[in-house]
Amino acid sequence: MFAGLFGDDPPMEVQVADPYIELHTGAGRGYPVFHVEEREAWIEILKRKTDWFKVRTASGKEGWVAREQLERTLTPAGEHTEIRDATKKEFAFHRWEMGAMGGRFDEDADVMTVYGGFFFTPNFSVEASASKVFADFSDADMADVSLLIHPFPDWRVSPFFALGTGIIDVDPKTTLVEEQDRTDQLAHVGVGMRVYLARRFIFRAQYKNYVIFQSTDDNQEIDEWKAGFAVFF
């Protein structure tokens, strides 16, 4: 019946069907119960935070109720309250996305990445990421910003194209010859897919081709493959 936040819609009213319902001071079981509403009392649902719902009683008290208790309340029509999770439609257009991925950077290095993205429209988003590269003779820290195009956002397996820039800081492990850390600019193009799994979870796989503009004027081209998981909200 509802999912996520409620936007500009008026608060939904439900009636307590259990002997009582507990209001917590915060969205979690670690927060204390400060008020109890008894059976047949009406409460308004204000907003959602994961599996906790902020409600307001008839006397004006506001607190947080666990999902399992709210599901046992009744609607004005006398039906059990249905709590709908995020759907494929919300996957097609949401504002925020965060995830982590791992894979191969060039042929002999591993890479781990965390990223966050903001969607301006269903077809266009911007993304910032931070990566750690682990190689035999050097490690590297990488940060970049990408513009992403999503031509088919309503597909369950949704492809995307990326274009971006960033920096890479290389830390050599060599001990025989002392080498200094080096920071270079990079640019990349990429292609990938995002797969809607369930609720707010996404599987993501992608390929990027990097050009690193080295200070030695000897540009380096690197292929990267990685995959991981993300959540949207």
- Single out the residue of 188, 221, 187 nearest to residue 207, CA to CA: 188
* Paired strand residues for 150: none
- For residues 111 and 226, is the Cβ–Cβ distance under 8 A? yes
H/E element, 225: strand 220-232
Cα-based distances in Å from 219 to 77, 111, 127, 141, 214: 68, 20, 25, 18, 5
Question: 67 by DSSP, 3-state: which?
Answer: helix
As assigned by CATH, the class of the 12-84 domain is mainly beta
Q: Where are the domains of the chain?
A: 12-84, 90-232
Q: What pTM did the predictor assign?
A: 0.66
Q: Fold for domain 90-232?
A: Porin (2.40.160)
For position 5, what pLDDT does the model report?
42
* Confidence at 51, pLDDT banded by 50, 70, 90: confident
Tokens representing residue 111 in the block: 């890479």
Q: Tens digits of per-residue pLDDT, 109-133?
A: 999 999 999 999 999 999 999 999 9
